Amino acid sequence: MLRAALLWLSERPAVFDFIKRNGMARRMARRFVAGEGLEHAEEATRELNGRDVTVTLDPLGESVRSADEAASARDTAITILDRIHETGLAANISLKLTQMGLDLDPELAADNMCTILERARSYETFVRIDMEASDYVQPTLDLFAERLHPEYGATVGVVIQSMLRRSAEDVERLIELHARVRLVKGAYMEPGEVAFPDKRDVDDSFAQLAERLLASGNYPAVATHDERLIEHARAYAAAHEIKNGAYEFQMLYGVRRDLMARLRAAGHNMRIYVPFGTDWYPYLMRRLAERPANLAFIAANIVRETFARS
Ligand code: FDA
């Protein structure tokens, strides 16, 4: 119920206009978002690289309203790629197709992505296309399979959400393409026709899809903070003599740093998803929806800090 309410709020830009001026909300965001500027993202990346952990930078932003806004998101992505190249940081980037104009015109989004991927290829780096709500899955996978993957190969990868009923078939198609896949549970509110309503089914699906990707995928990313599923993936890889270097674990900035450190110490490749930018509201609401206890935790911290200062 609370999860549904938070996800509903995540799609209300008017609420963001109201809360972005609120100091408490901004402090809440700082737990999950590196900061508003690229310099903050670089600082977080340097710190993580210092722990031998790689990063994927996410310039926050979702559906744009004009071709100019999409062009600006594209140029931001290129600036980040340039900066990663100049600084030598161990990072790549994650983007959303709606940022690139998918809602306005799929051709526009495709052209913007191609411009970004040209630059990424020249730097021999990698761009991940995040997966958004279920209505976007088919257009995203079509664009990936028909245009981006044939042209840019291992420079570009996609995301599969284990909560979706269609994902087992999508994974098989992506394995055939030898595409790079990040596996997640899925962060959006979805109807029962397209997604498993029961969390146990989402988790079972994650375990099965992780096995398929570990066995036959191309450097899959197992992206979860769920220790049981992480152990399942590790045990499967060990039993099938799949080397640590053949896949990576991924987690979100600000979540389970203890687990991140343990996996890295055990010799696993570990990448952290580091979001930054001014458009943090929908991202923050999805993180709170995943664990509504964060609301109480963050509020308690803010109260403690406020009293400590006064
Ligand atoms: P689950 O929600 O079951 O949580 C397992 C445990 O992890 C919890 O018990 C808690 O301990 C901890 N935890 C999880 N979330 C937490 C939080 N916010 N705060 C504190 N603790 C938390 N989704 C999507 O739809 N499209 C995408 O492209 C991506 N991309 C992506 C990249 C990466 C690197 C990650 C890790 C995740 C995504 N996601 C995503 C989000 C994903 O779909 C999912 O919503 C979150 O990862 C939370 O699910 P878990 O797998 O962690 O399991």
Residue tagged active-site, from 103, 130, 203, 279: 130
- The verdict on the CB of residue 158 being under 6 Å from ligand 1 is no
- The verdict on the CB of residue 287 being under 6 Å from ligand 1 is yes
pLDDT tens digit string along 151-171? Answer: 999 999 999 999 999 999 999
| Ligand 1 centroid to residue 21 C-alpha, Å | 27
> Cα-flanking dihedrals φ and ψ of residue 185, to 5°?
-80, -35
Q: For 3-11, what is the mean pLDDT? A: 73
The first and second tokens of residue 140, run together, are: 């995203």
Q: For 44-55, what is the mean pLDDT? A: 98
pLDDT tens digit string along 225-284? Answer: 999 999 999 999 999 999 999 999 999 999 999 999 999 999 999 999 999 998 877 888
Residue tagged active-site, from 74, 119, 182, 271: 182
Tell me which of 299 and 66 has the higher pLDDT.
66
Closest CA to 255 of 288, 207, 218: 288
Intra-chain end-to-end CA distance of the chain, in Å: 36
Residue 130 is among the residues annotated as catalytic for this protein: yes
Residue 201 is among the residues annotated as catalytic for this protein: no
Q: Locate the ligand 1 atom nearest the alpha carbon of residue 272 and give its number.
A: 34
Give the span between the Cα atoms of 183 and 207, in whole angstroms. Answer: 10
% of the chain beyond a pLDDT of 70: 89
- The verdict on the CB of residue 186 being under 6 Å from ligand 1 is yes
- The verdict on the CB of residue 6 being under 6 Å from ligand 1 is no
Give the span between the Cα atoms of 212 and 210, in whole angstroms. Answer: 5
Residue 280, CB half-sphere, CA atoms under 13 Å: how many? Answer: 25
pLDDT of residue 207: 98
Q: What is the mean pLDDT of the chain?
A: 91
| Ligand 1 centroid to residue 185 C-alpha, Å | 7
